[in-house]
A = this chain, B = another copy of it.
Amino acid sequence: MAKRARTTRVGISDVATKAGVSLATVSRVMNGNLSVDPQIAKRVRATAAELKYLPNPTGRNLARGKTDTIGVVVPDLGNPTFQAVLRGVSRAAAQDGYRVLIADSSEVSSEEAILAGEARRRCDGVVLCAPRMGAAELEELAPSLHPMVLVNRATNATGSPSVMVDYGKGIQDLAAHLVELGHTRLAYVAGPASSASHGLRLAGLETFKRSHPGIELKVLPNGSTFEDGYNSADAVVASGASGIMAFNDLTAMGLLSSLNERGIRVPADMSVTGFDDIPFARYTTPALTTAAVPIVDVGEQAWRQMRELLNGTAGGGTSATPGQAGSEVAAGTTAAPTTSIFTPTLVVRGSTAAPPATGR
């Protein structure tokens, strides 16, 4: 490269020279290596401070073969769920001195794999949120991404731990709640067909059906956004159901809004439930009955899993102790990869009640 471009900031050698020691010593001091004479260490520190020397991370990264950074790949930075995961990961990682590089695929799932790979090569590991990615592609991608932690996904044949939410259990709780209130005709306003978490809800509902033969349960295809919920009102009304389970709080709120405009009263005429318990859920009118997902905790747990991977403490077991906020966590199989499972909590608010007396 250039011959000693003098544009450069103050580097380790400047400190070494000025303090009258070798590069190695400065490096040792800066890294808190105890094997340095306290006197000298003090002098070096003083010199560094005087020169306002701060180690260049890129140089360290190259020399140490690590970046102290992890990548978080999300399909949509505008989605409250992934925002919360990101926040959880970011804060937990920060506590351990790690930073987060974000990779937002903007719902362009064809870019997901590339983005994930790029992120991985710049970081020490990657937390992957890819609810729509095909199982095959994921499996193929996994080895090249290791160390990787999956959120709401699982993969065999690789050492990638997962942090999952038991959406199936959550929706069963919701359905049971409605049935307890007296509803006999239920409808699930479905999420995107390709969504893995939607699949889990569906499976949960199948289980529910089996144990509740007398209950009618329709599945109404729909999406995951506010607008989707708003636009689902026709289908919901046509279904004849009195107990509606929306895919998530967003769609529930959209539905609520649309029903309100039509003069259909919730919960008097119809009960509606959400899923996730996003912050707004308790402030809708009426407040939303939902299955609370401790999604920030999911992010934090994803970091803990990543930390284990990074520390080489690969093993499984009930190592980290997550789930402080009313959620339960179960350690998966004892062998790696570990799976953490968070169970949603039923939160009953004003949007559910007994069905109208007219029966129906």
User: Given the complex, which residues of B lie within 8 Å of A356, measured CB to CB?
Assistant: none
B77 touches A104 (CB 8 A): no
Task: Work out how many copies of this chain go into the complex.
Answer: 2
CA–CA, A58 to B122, complex, Å? 7
Scan residues 318-342 of chain A and give those whose CB is less than 8 A from a CB of chain B: none
Are B69 and A279 in contact (CB-based, < 8 A)?
no
Q: Which of chain B's residues have a CB closer than 8 A to the CB of A69?
A: 101, 122
| Partner pick for A77 among B56, B90, B260, B284, CB 8 A cutoff | B90
Q: Please name the residue on chain B nearest to A260 by beta carbon.
A: B285
A1, A69, A101, A103: which has the most chain B beta carbons within 10 Å? Answer: A101
Select one of B1, B86, B90 contacting A63, CB under 8 A: B1
| A214 lies within 8 A of chain B by Cβ | no
User: A146 at the A/B interface (Cβ < 8 Å)?
Assistant: no
A121-B77 in contact (CB<8A)? no
Q: Give per-residue flags for A45-73: 1 if the beta carbon is below 8 A from chain B beta carbons, else 0.
A: 00000000010111101110001010000
A195 within 8 A of B: no
Chain B contacts for A54, CB-based, 8 A: 117, 121
A61 neighbours in B (Cβ, 8 Å): 58, 61-62
Residues of B within 8 A of A119 (CB): 99
CA distance A253 to B86 in the complex (A): 25
Between A67, A94, A256, the greatest number of chain B beta carbons within 10 A of the residue's beta carbon is seen for A94
Residue with the greatest number of chain B CB neighbours at <10 A, chosen from A1, A78, A260: A78
Are B91's CB and A87's CB within 8 A?
no
Contact A104 B121 (CB under 8 A): no
Please measure, in the bound complex, the distance between the C-alpha atom of A121 and the C-alpha atom of B77, giving whole angstroms. Answer: 25
- Which residues of chain B are within 8 angstroms of A1 by Cβ–Cβ distance? 63
List residues of chain B with CB within 8 A of the CB of A87.
77-78, 104
CA distance A284 to B281 in the complex (A): 11
Check A86 against B91 for contact (C-beta < 8 Å).
no
4 tightest CB-CB pairs across the interface, nearest first?
Answer: A285-B285, A77-B87, A257-B283, A57-B122
16 chain-A/chain-B pairs, Cβ below 8 angstroms:
A54-B121, A58-B61, A58-B122, A69-B101, A69-B122, A77-B83, A78-B83, A78-B84, A78-B87, A90-B104, A94-B104, A99-B122, A101-B102, A226-B283, A254-B283, A285-B285
